Amino acid sequence: MKDASSRRQHCPVQGTHHLESASQFRSSDACFSSDLQTAVVGALLFQRRRRRQAEISLKESEERMTFTAASVNVGLWQFDRITNEVWATEHCRAMFGCRKMRASRRDTLLEAIHPEDRDTAVAANCGSGMPRNPS
């Protein structure tokens, strides 16, 4: 029977043999570290794949919503109270004559509304979070 200092143990991750002795802990730590790194990389790749699938699904959903809104001649928009910016779909911007702008200020959108309809539009949008007086 061999003594503990000369027994060899195989590390499958590193593909090497090492002696079971005082260096055993360093070697098994290296195997554990390598196993841990492999697990972390695998988990990151899995999360990356799930994120890509979610992004594709979100893009498809946005495209369906935009297509549906344009089909019924409705413009979609969103007002950000913090930045005072209005995001709108391309179809909505075309309806308001702001086709070239991706995100515009609230004032730009209000200027696109006919002066006789502006007060009605502002009053209607107060319930949606748009302030009455532009800041």
CB 130: neighbour CB atoms within 10 A?
Answer: 19
Residues 129 and 135: their CA atoms lie apart, in Å, by: 14
Structure tokens belonging to residue 128: 């949606």
| CATH class of the 75-135 domain in this structure | alpha beta
What is the three-class DSSP state of 30?
helix
pTM exceeds 0.85, yes or no: no
pLDDT per residue rounded down to tens, the chain (135 residues): 444 444 455 555 455 554 455 455 566 666 767 888 888 999 999 999 999 999 999 999 989 988 898 889 888 888 887 887 888 888 888 887 776 665 567 777 777 788 898 888 888 766 655 455 544
